[in-house]
């Protein structure tokens, strides 16, 4: 169905004069919340309020979670109305919404919430953003280990209406300490008289709320389970991380890594002001400016090479770009290795050696290809290497050799740099992603330039005697 079609259908249901409110609600709920959210942009304030009234706070809140402009939607409500909607959300979703608002509006709305909802939100907000407790939800079902199968099943059925995370049921003792986990299917097929403890998985993966998000995600990727229990320091069950929460956290981590790869100090919001973007970008740009000055200073030392051997500068981009590409590839492989937290001495040595060998082999192949193409270019166009001179075979062979040898050395060094630097950063407790992207590329550029022009000066000026 085309997007416009279902939006028109939803608007017709909402504006119908023949349907009662209950009938409108029933008809609207035949559509996914995301479809209803798409309609919000087409509604005026009166129609939006009508939709809210018909759906109720809880369902309307679920619809808002699918909107692209949830901040504007919440801001258009009265604070008391917004509080009624947000407090019906799962605590983790409510926090996501509140974080979109400015601090003054956020405080006002939280103060208008029911005490229980406010407490649930504050229980999560007390954890730092890099702690897994900040990502947990109160959307889970727990039962006592002393319950009978029948009692446990009744509780699951009663809780299922308010919790969609019921594939795993958490089993606790009378002090709310985690005993283990029962899968819903095991509970369903269990005989009534059976001891609940016999179907509990006691060694189920769990995490402390203060555990680092990055460390937890590594293990969660390996287990790939529907949900994970979150415990306090005493082993008491205080929340859960669902598959959706894990995916969202992974997306956030990926966004942060992409930001660092691009030389940003933190992930950038597409809707933020230019001044906010400048604040995030300028620190790394300043560092890169200093590094780029090294390239300029390096070039200044080879002024005579550029003046006499003008054609050499023509192939500079080839060497720099290929070296940068090789370094970035090695960097990506190394960061991936580090992200698994399997950073042993043996693993480090294996990774560095592999990237070094890969750089050499790639360099040999591409250097051979580049030698042929450069030589062919110089022959076809009869380009003289030395300024204001005719084509010379010896000089053409030398220039082609300089390009290919520089490419081989630069790609090898770049592959080594791309694997060694992030490991060094990791060892000194600095995020290795920070040492990536423009930073590595700039270092490789300086190295490649020194190799390229240094080799040109050596072969042409010292050996062939050009310019003497």
pLDDT tens per residue, range 193-221 = 788 888 899 889 999 999 988 888 888 88
Model pTM above 0.85:
no
- What pLDDT score does 280 carry? 65
Structure tokens at 94: 């409510």
DSSP string computed for 8-40: HHHHHHHH-SSS-HHHHHHHHTTS-HHHHHHHH
Looking at the fold, whether 324 and 429 belong to one and the same domain comes out as yes
Looking at the fold, whether 299 and 437 belong to one and the same domain comes out as yes
Looking at the fold, whether 70 and 158 belong to one and the same domain comes out as no
pLDDT tens per residue, range 169-194 = 999 999 999 999 998 888 888 877 78
Count of CA atoms in the C-beta half-sphere (13 A) of 162: 13
Domain extent, residue 377, equals: 274-463
Looking at the fold, whether 415 and 334 belong to one and the same domain comes out as yes
Q: Which of 213, 238, 261 is the last residue of a domain?
A: 261
Neighbours of 163 (CB within 10 A): 17
DSSP string computed for 228-242: EEEE-TTSBEEEEEE
Looking at the fold, whether 119 and 209 belong to one and the same domain comes out as no
Determine, yes or no, domain membership for 97.
yes
The alpha carbon torsion through 368, 370, 374, 379 (nearest 10 deg) reads 40
Looking at the fold, whether 97 and 116 belong to one and the same domain comes out as yes
Cα–Cα–Cα angle for 211, 213, 218, rounded to 5 degrees: 100
Question: For the chain, how many structural domains are there in total?
Answer: 3
Looking at the fold, whether 105 and 230 belong to one and the same domain comes out as no
Q: Which of 90, 120, 135 is the last residue of a domain?
A: 135
- What pLDDT score does 238 carry? 94
The series of mean pLDDT values per 10 residues for the chain, 468 residues long, is: 73 89 92 90 87 92 88 88 91 86 88 90 87 88 89 85 81 93 88 81 92 84 86 93 78 62 52 70 76 76 78 87 89 81 82 94 96 90 74 87 94 92 81 65 84 88 70
Q: Residues near 417 by Cβ (< 8 Å), separated by ≥ 6?
A: 327, 330, 440, 443, 444, 447
Domain CATH for 185: 3.10.580.10
Determine, yes or no, domain membership for 268.
no
Looking at the fold, whether 122 and 23 belong to one and the same domain comes out as yes
Strands of 388-432, DSSP E:
none
Residue burial 311-345, b: 16+ Cβ < 10 Å; e: rest: bbbebbebbbebbbbbbbbbbebbbebbbeeebee
- What pLDDT score does 259 carry? 56
Looking at the fold, whether 331 and 434 belong to one and the same domain comes out as yes
């Amino acid at each position: 169905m085309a997007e416009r079609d279902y939006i028109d259908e939803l608007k017709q249901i909402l504006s119908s004069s023949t349907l009662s409110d209950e009938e409108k609600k029933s008809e609207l709920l035949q559509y996914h919340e995301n479809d209803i959210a798409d309609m919000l942009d087409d509604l005026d304030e009166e129609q939006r309020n009508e939709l809210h009234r018909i759906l109720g706070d809880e369902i309307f809140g679920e619809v808002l979670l699918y909107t692209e402009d949830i901040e504007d939607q919440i801001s258009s409500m009265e604070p008391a109305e917004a509080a009624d909607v947000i407090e019906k959300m799962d605590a983790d979703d409510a926090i996501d919404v509140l974080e979109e608002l400015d601090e003054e509006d956020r405080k006002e709305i939280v103060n208008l919430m029911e005490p229980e909802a406010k407490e649930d939100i504050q229980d999560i907000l007390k954890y730092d953003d890099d702690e897994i407790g900040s990502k947990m939800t109160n959307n889970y079902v727990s039962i006592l280990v002393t319950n009978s199968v029948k009692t446990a099943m009744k509780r699951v059925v009663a809780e299922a209406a308010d919790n969609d995370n019921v594939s795993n049921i958490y089993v606790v003792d009378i002090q709310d300490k985690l005993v283990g986990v029962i899968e819903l299917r095991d509970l369903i097929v269990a005989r009534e008289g059976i001891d609940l403890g016999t179907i509990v998985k006691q060694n189920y993966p769990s995490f402390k709320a203060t555990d680092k998000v990055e460390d937890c995600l590594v293990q969660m990727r390996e287990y790939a389970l529907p949900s994970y229990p979150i415990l306090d320091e005493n082993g008491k069950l205080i929340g859960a991380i669902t598959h959706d929460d894990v995916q969202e956290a992974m997306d956030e981590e990926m966004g942060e890594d992409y930001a660092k790869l691009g030389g940003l100090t933190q992930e950038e919001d597409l809707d933020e002001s230019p001044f906010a973007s400048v604040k995030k970008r300028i620190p790394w740009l300043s560092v890169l400016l200093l590094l780029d000055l090294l390239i300029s200073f390096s070039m200044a030392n080879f002024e005579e090479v550029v003046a006499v051997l003008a054609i050499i500068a023509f192939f500079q981009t080839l060497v720099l770009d290929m070296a940068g590409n090789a370094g970035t590839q090695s960097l990506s492989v190394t960061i991936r290795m580090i992200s698994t937290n399997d950073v042993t001495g043996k693993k480090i040595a294996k990774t560095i050696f592999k990237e070094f060998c890969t750089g050499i082999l790639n360099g040999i192949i591409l250097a051979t290809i580049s030698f042929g193409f450069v030589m062919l270019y110089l022959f076809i166009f009869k380009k003289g290497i030395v300024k204001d001179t005719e084509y010379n075979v010896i000089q053409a062979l030398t220039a082609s050799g300089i390009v290919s040898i520089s490419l081989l050395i630069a790609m090898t060094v770049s592959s080594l740099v791309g694997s060694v630097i992030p490991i060094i950063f990791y060892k000194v407790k600095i995020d290795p992603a920070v040492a990536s992207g423009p930073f590595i590329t700039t270092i490789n550029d300086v190295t490649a330039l020194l190799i390229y022009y240094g080799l040109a000066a050596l072969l042409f000026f010292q050996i062939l005697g050009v310019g003497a």
